[in-house]
Amino acid sequence: MSFNTGETIGPYRMMEQLGQGGMATVYKAYHASLDRYVAIKVLHQAFLEDPNFLARFQREARLVARLEHQNIVPIYDYAEHGGRPYLVMKYIEGDTLKARLHAGPISREEVSFIIERVGAGLAYAHKQGILHRDIKPSNVILAKDGGVYLADFGLARIAQSGDSTLTSDMILGTPQYISPEQALGKSDLDQGTDIYSFGVMAYEMTTGRVPFSADTPFSVIHDHIYSPLPLPTSVNPNVSLDVERVLLKALAKDREDRYPDVPVFVSDFLSAWQETGSGVLPSTVVASPVESLPAASTAIASPPPETGKIVLETTFRQEADSSPVEPGQPAKRRISRKWLWLGLPIFLCLCCLGLGMLNDSEIWGAPPAPGSGVVDAPALPENPVVEDVDSVPLEILPLEQAVRAAEAEPESAILHVQLGLALIESGQEVDGYAEIQLASELAKSDVPLLLGMAKTLERQERWPGALSMYLRVFEARPRLSMLSDNLRRAAYFTAGHPLAPDLIDPEAVQKADKPTLLMAQARYQVLHEGKFTEARALLDQIRKDLDAFPEAGLVEAEALFLEGKPEEARAMLNSILERNTIPPWVRQQAETLLKQYE
């Protein structure tokens, strides 16, 4: 049974949907008898696959509902509607700590206050024998009245109690904040797990970044388990040695080396922070664009996100902003392509780009100005292969200069690539790759230019841009030697990007090579959604012959490692390396993964 806006569920009238995540959907509702708004979190229907889940849900909800503390979002009620369980919580007007960190510099006083308040709520819960299991800035709510609340207490435990397909194949936790023992899938978690995640949050607040960040959750999880912690003083020289010492202890790989409890950690941190200070905090705090596996969802009753911005921890992103371009601003040609994978029925949301038919006239116009970065396209040899074409040298210009250059020569493909790179460097990845997509359209059927730009983008590891170029080449010269291998490589690495659903045109990839699309979908599901069963269903369609499609073996190895099966992952990679016919990049990637799995 659905929960629709305007319906009455029990005593609650559903007002609006606030957000949707991998585990649940959050609504704002009105409780008429008490004349107050509440937040209702409806758990995913997949939990109903477990016939015992409702009983377990009620038991766990009772425990969490007993948490009565000024720094914990209170649970008012829990029930089920049409067999679907839901929690009723306090509706809090405010924003998350994550949004606050993105908004600008955070003061020393704010750091102290937030650490103290979150620590108080967490310590209280631990005394009641309840772990949070998913401490992170998006689960900390900063209310408009000055209150600080820790949200989603025990939700990860409620999910983990079940045996549904929603949780059986995933690591519960958020990669950037996950503890090593959580990453290894251990079940004997204790308060040390929360202390580690709390420590990561403190690290981010004081240095301006999380300790481990990479293109894929797999890489981040691997670093939490095996990689030494980047010293806070090396990330932000203004951090004092005393604060660094506290963070190093809280983030020890071995639980026994961490703080014994939250109050001791908070006391040491505040003493170090207030007595020796950290000088000037970073002027901007950069967080990862996508921070969670689908198991992590936030019970935040804050205002809905602005249209056109990425909604963290939601299954569907908002549609891109299509407002007119203001003079002097980069083009807002956002790519709106979605891969929608919900449950075993896999269906693509094919968003067709309006690729206008360009004429065959010269696209360059007037000769390029000195220092503009425009170069001649490489000549295409007779009977060409992709590897025969040289890369196109491109400058990474300051954003304002790149905007002016592209406006001055709007038909220049290279200048739009440079604008795209400048946007990406400034953190506007979706807009940046949209500009690169536009550049591929402007290049028309100029295969040497397209290949040259693709090579340059590859060397800069801007894989979504390289994929756009190769897809355009396929339209012009589908039989070009070695093109298929380059397409697969670009699609493989693009699928590791957190924003891959916004950056890949599934219709174009399928037209070029359907197995490549299946492989890319499978890799995205493994690395970003934890949907190992669904990913293997896709891989089964293409990996019957590992020699013909060894990339499927790479994805399988990544899935095995994330499932906590490193020996099987290494065996799969070794079986790939035993073959003599695999492309060089596949061999290199297999060797790289083997080193990561050591």
In this predicted structure, what is the pLDDT of residue 185?
Answer: 80
CA distance 139 to 208: 18
Q: Let me know: does 373 contact 394? Beta carbons within 8 Å.
A: yes
Rg (CA), the chain: 25
Residue 16 burial (10 A CB sphere; 0-12, 13-18, 19+): exposed
Nearest C-alpha neighbor of 156 from the set 301, 56, 297: 297
- The parts of the chain modelled with pLDDT lower than 70 are 1-2, 20-23, 45-52, 56, 154-173, 215, 276-395, 481-482, 544-547
Architecture of domain 8-90: 2-Layer Sandwich (3.30)
**Angle (CA) 274 278 284, round 5°:** 125
Q: Let me know: does 497 contact 219? Beta carbons within 8 Å.
A: no
End-to-end CA distance of the chain: 48
Q: Let me know: does 413 contact 449? Beta carbons within 8 Å.
A: yes
Q: Let me know: does 539 contact 549? Beta carbons within 8 Å.
A: no
Domain residue limits, the chain: 8-90, 94-275
CA distance 158 to 166: 12
Residue 360 burial (10 A CB sphere; 0-12, 13-18, 19+): exposed
Q: How far is CA 385 from CA 376, 381, 382, 449, 504, in A?
A: 20, 8, 9, 14, 24
Q: How far is CA 2 from CA 87, 419, 492, 516, in A?
A: 15, 45, 37, 36
Q: What is the DSSP string of 411-479?
A: T-HHHHHHHHHHHHHTT-HHHHHHHHHHHHHHTTT-HHHHHHHHHHHHHTT-HHHHHHHHHHHHHH-TT
Tokens of 30: 């009105």
Q: Which residues on adjacent β-strands are paired with residue 143?
A: 94
Q: Which residue has the tokens 């999910």?
A: 159
Which residues fall within 8 angstroms of residue 468, CB to CB, at 6 or more apart?
433, 436, 437, 440, 505
Give the CATH fold of the 94-275 domain. Transferase(Phosphotransferase); domain 1 (1.10.510)
For 314, other C-beta atoms within 10 Å of its C-beta total 19
**Angle (CA) 81 293 99, round 5°:** 90
Q: How far is CA 444 from CA 358, 363, 405, 418, 438, in A?
A: 7, 9, 20, 17, 10
**Angle (CA) 161 167 169, round 5°:** 130
In this predicted structure, what is the pLDDT of residue 173?
Answer: 60
**Catalytic positions, written as ranges:** 134
Tell if the pTM clears 0.75, that is, is over it.
no
Element (H, E) at 566: helix 566-577
Which residues fall within 8 angstroms of residue 522, CB to CB, at 6 or more apart?
535, 536, 538, 539, 552, 555
CA distance 576 to 259: 43
CA distance 346 to 310: 23
CA distance 215 to 253: 22
> Would you give the distance in Å from CA 101 to the centre of its chain?
17
Q: Let me know: does 293 contact 175? Beta carbons within 8 Å.
A: yes
Q: How far is CA 565 from CA 184, 185, 188, in A?
A: 10, 10, 18
In this predicted structure, what is the pLDDT of residue 21?
Answer: 62
CA distance 546 to 292: 31
In this predicted structure, what is the pLDDT of residue 304?
Answer: 34
DSSP state of 481: B
CA distance 268 to 443: 59
In this predicted structure, what is the pLDDT of residue 370?
Answer: 37
Domains 8-90 and 94-275 share a fold: no
What is the side-by-side order of every strand in the sheet holding 148-150? 94-96, 140-143, 148-150
Tokens of 246: 């506290």
Q: Which residue has the tokens 């981010």?
A: 204
CA distance 526 to 552: 12
Q: In the chain, helix, strand, coil percent, each to 5?
A: 45, 10, 45
CA distance 106 to 405: 35
